[in-house]
Chain A
Amino acid sequence: MTRLEIRIDDHRVHFSGRIDDTAQLATLAAKLPAGPIVLDTDGVTFINSIGMREWIRFVRAAREGGRQITLDRVADVLMTQMNMINELHGLTVTSFYAQYACASCGFEAQPLIDAVANQQALQMLAPPRPPCPECGAAMELADFPERYLSIFRT
C-alpha cells in the first residue's frame, strides 16, 4: 500500500497515496511557500479517521497562518469525509471526484466535477449530470447529495 507522498510544485501541493496513521501533516503548513496555495489530492486513494485528523490539523494550521487555500481535484474518498466535518465547510473547492452511476446502462464512474462552473447548483445540493462514457445518457450522483455537497453550503 502506497504511503502518502507530498510534492510541492510552486504554489501547488500534490498529495498521493494513503492519508493514514503514518501521515505527518501537522508541520506541513510551515513548509509551504508564501502566497495562495492549491492542494491537489487527485492521487489520494485512502483516508482513515487518524488521517482525517491530520488533514484537519494541516488545513487549520494553514488557515490560522493566514494562507488562502484552494482544493482542486479532490479525491472522492477525501470529499465524502470532509463533508462530515463542520470545520471544513466553506473551504474553496474548484473541482472534485464523485461516484456516479448511469441509470440507463449501469456503468459506474468517478468523473471530475467542475465546482466553479456548477457553483450555484452545488450550493443548492443539485449535482450536475455528466454524460455516461459508455452510452452517453446523463449519469446520476450515486449517493445522497449531502455526502458530497454539504461543504458548498455557505
Chain B
Amino acid sequence: MTPGSPLTGAAGKLVVVHPERRAQRSLQRLVGATLCPVEVVAQLDKATIDVDTIVVLDAQLAAEEPTSCGRPARAWIAVPGEGLAPADPATVSALLGAGWNHVIAHPMPLLAEELLATAQKLILKQYFGLEKYMTWGAEIRGYQLDDAIERDAVVGALALDVTQVGLPDRIGSLVSVIADELLANALYAAPVDEDGVRFRVGEARDKARALVDKDVVTLRWATDGRYLAIEVRDQWGTLDPSAIKTRLAATKTSTADGGMGLPLAYACSNQLVINLAPKARTEVIALLDIRYKPTELARSASFHAFTGTV
C-alpha cells in the first residue's frame, strides 16, 4: 500500500489550548483535518510552541494573556471560549487591540469552516482568493474597474447580481456598503508615492482616472448558499493591518472624521479577511453568512490578517 501524501507535508504542528475537554475534542478533530500533527493541552504554559507552530487558543485564555500573540509562532488563532458559544464583542475588541491577527468570533458550524480554512491557508502559505471560503461548484463573478469613476457602477451591478440570486434586501444593502468601502479603499487609500505618502486620499471621488498597471482594481464575488463573499484586490500591498486592527478594536466610534471605511465594512460583515503581499497586492474579503439570522451569530465579526507573497 502506498499512502498518498497530504498536500501539506510541511514542518510544524498545531497546538490546541482549551480548558474544556469537549471543546478540545471538537477542535482537535477540526484542525486534524489538515493532516498536520495536533497537540492538545488545557493551559498555555503546558504547550510547546516554536516558530512553526500554529496555536489555536481559547478566547478567554487569550483575553487573560492578550500579549501571548507576540510570542514566536507561525500564527495565533483565538477561538470562541467556554462551550464554544460566540465570542463576546468586548473580547474580540480586546484581542484586536492587543494585535491578534486571527480572531474567530462565531460558534459551530461557522467555527469549523473558518478555522479549517484559516489553518490550511497558514500551512500551505496560500493566502489569496475567495475560493478558499466557498464550496466547490460556486460560480465566481468578477469585475475589473477600467476607471475610478466606475465604482458606483460596479457596486450597482453587484447589488443587482445579489438580488437576482434571490438574497433579501438586507443582504443587498450590506453588500452595497461593503463593496463601496472596499473599492474606495483600494482606489484612494492604497496608492502611495515613493515616500509612502497616500497621495490619493484627498482626491475628488467623482473624478475620472484610468486604472492601468499598478492601479488595477478588481472585485469578485460568489455565494455557495452558506456565505456570500466579496473580494476586492489592488496591486499596491500597502494596507497596514496593525492600524486596521486598532480601528476595528474601537467598538464605537466617537466621531466620523476619517478612517471609517474598513471599520464600517467590518461592522457589516460576519468575517473580514485581509490578505497582504507587501508592495505587491492587498486583498480584502468580506464574508456574510446567509444561512442564519444575525442574532444567531456572534455580534462582532471574525477577523483574519495574513501576510505573505503573491
Measured CA separation A143–B295 after assembly (Å)? 6
Q: Does A154 contact B (CB under 8 A)?
A: no
A49 in contact with B260 given A21-B205, A101-B293 (CB within 8 Å): yes
**Interface residues on chain A, number (Cβ under 8 Å):** 28
CB pair B177 A46 closer than 8 Å: yes
Main secondary structure of the interface of B (DSSP, over half): helix
Main secondary structure of the interface of A (DSSP, over half): mixed
Considering only CB atoms, which chain B residue lies closest to A83 in the complex?
Answer: B252
Contact of A85 among B156, B184, B255, B294 (CB under 8 A): B255
A53 in contact with B256 given A48-B180, A143-B294 (CB within 8 Å): yes
Shortest CB distance A7–B (Å):
22
**Interface residues on chain B, number (Cβ under 8 Å):** 30
Q: Does A117 contact B (CB under 8 A)?
A: no
Considering only CB atoms, which chain B residue lies closest to A55 in the complex?
Answer: B256
CB-defined contacts of B168 to chain A, threshold 8 Å: 108
Measured CA separation A85–B253 after assembly (Å)? 5
Contact of B258 among A53, A77, A143 (CB under 8 A): A53
Q: Which of B100-158 contact A (CB under 8 A)?
A: 152, 155-156
Considering only CB atoms, which chain A residue lies closest to B267 in the complex?
Answer: A84
Q: Does B283 contact A (CB under 8 A)?
A: no
CB-defined contacts of B299 to chain A, threshold 8 Å: 144, 146
Shortest CB distance B48–A (Å):
40
Instruction: List 6 interface pairs A-B (beta carbons < 8 Å), by A numbering.
Output: A1-B152, A20-B180, A46-B176, A86-B253, A144-B294, A144-B295
Query: Which A positions have Cβ atoms within 8 angstroms of B?
Result: 1, 20-22, 46-50, 52-53, 55-56, 76-77, 81, 84-87, 99, 101, 108, 110, 142-144, 146
